[in-house]
Structure 1
């Protein structure tokens, strides 16, 4: 069984991951809270899971590289410089970064990719997501994950196709756009729907998270899978064999 380190272990996801680690028969070896230095203790682990904050990512990657252990990053709200840092770290260690560790969501991503590849641009794509009132980033990392899958399947960049700022007189919907709508309220753990709207028909692919433990269990499975892998970038689809 593996020895786990958890960065951000006192947060809601960190606590859920600690529970999932025990549930899976692994050992929660060490935890690092917000602002803590992971370097002195991260070497005690077989793998580290990071659900902290974007500002801490560079430091956490450096610590994992120094210790030579794999890292799973589930932190959302990442920007381009974070992805550059992830790519650099992957030259030294196995890195799995994802906007969502749920096994169900990652299967949904696969289905979205397959559907988008089969349907032409005359089918409009809209992504609707809802989360609890405390979530600070929008659209969610999962919504972007699904949008990336649809964009890649159509051979375009999400940054070129993304439409998330509709307000007022927007004019007609542009062909090929991938629309995003964000809802926030209550204690919703996470709901995502990808709508393919064609002429007189629609296909809706959806996933509902009832408890954040689904993300914790997926993170533990993905992190355990990383142990012993060669340095490089990995995704949850690799864990699922998709």
Structure 2
């Protein structure tokens, strides 16, 4: 393909004025194959009408808007790290316009997940609780570890995030629990323990425990502890900033470039199946 034939991947960003939104705008601008084509935010945002790159000091020529139809017009992809209700509103407009979707939002109910699955019959969607390449490699390592240590080890998942995070445990921690449980032939719904207080009795050896920490500006720390007799193994991933999530999201966009429908996750994107 000649330079004259090159067509950039036209990407819209939801929640464009937020921390993650700005990281995505910067990553798109720095990429060699993607172009910012739209920027969305809620109607009450003070950023409405401003250039999406104004916060970083480099104008993009794309104004932030609350008008979903106008904001998505001309885009082939939307990257969404907002909240479940907002993501579902964006999803419906994406279906109308035939825009493929990358979803990094967490905290969906089963009914909301079902709506996303139904929409994937019309558009292509990558949905993952964590877009980081490192986190998804960690999930693969957890699958391997859980298969080897399916008996004789107690499993605890500890996660820490910033004070502004509204759901707990994190979507990534829950995904880690699902991966471990599945590798051991269990259902996380039946063996998860999310809180301990008072006289709890001895630990059920088949349980998977969760501990949640919220404070400061912690981007995201996750550790899965396999505690056995005479030894323990810890598999951890720690994020120092959101750049990894943004780069993983762009890899998901590139993966969707030749897709017209289907529901995928980051294991599909990274070839980790």
Q: Would the TM-score normalized by the shorter structure come out above 0.5?
A: yes
**Contact kept in structure 2, 1:94 and 1:231, CA below 8 Å:** yes
- Give the alignment's TM-score, normalised by structure 1: 0.96
SS of corresponding position for 1:57: helix
Which runs of 5 or more structure 1 residues have no equivalent in the other structure? none
1:230 to partner: Cα distance: 4.0
- Give the alignment's TM-score, normalised by structure 2: 0.85
Alignment root-mean-square deviation, CA: 1.3
| Equivalence for 1:32 | 40
Question: Does 1:8 pair with 2:15?
Answer: yes
Aligned length: 242
**Contact kept in structure 2, 1:122 and 1:176, CA below 8 Å:** no
Q: Give the Cα separation in 2 of the matches to 1:105 and 1:21.
A: 21
**Contact kept in structure 2, 1:91 and 1:232, CA below 8 Å:** yes
1:137 to partner: Cα distance: 1.1
Higher alpha-carbon Rg: 2
The 4+ residue runs of structure 1 with deviation greater than 3 A are none
Q: Give the Cα separation in 1 of the matches to 2:153 and 2:9.
A: 46
| Equivalence for 1:86 | 116
Question: Does 1:238 pair with 2:268?
Answer: yes
| Equivalence for 1:97 | 127
Question: Does 1:119 pair with 2:166?
Answer: no
1:135 to partner: Cα distance: 1.4
Which structure has the higher relative contact order (CA within 8 Å, separation 6+)?
Answer: 1
Q: Give the Cα separation in 1 of the matches to 2:144 and 2:116.
A: 27
| Equivalence for 1:228 | 258
2:30 to 6, 13, 23: 23
Q: Give the Cα separation in 2 of the matches to 1:130 and 1:100.
A: 14
1:174 to partner: Cα distance: 0.7
| Equivalence for 2:47 | none
| Equivalence for 2:177 | 147
| Equivalence for 2:216 | 186
Q: Give the Cα separation in 2 of the matches to 1:160 and 1:230.
A: 36
Deviations 1:41-76 (A, max 9, x none): 313112111111111222111111111121011111
| Equivalence for 1:42 | 72
| Equivalence for 1:71 | 101
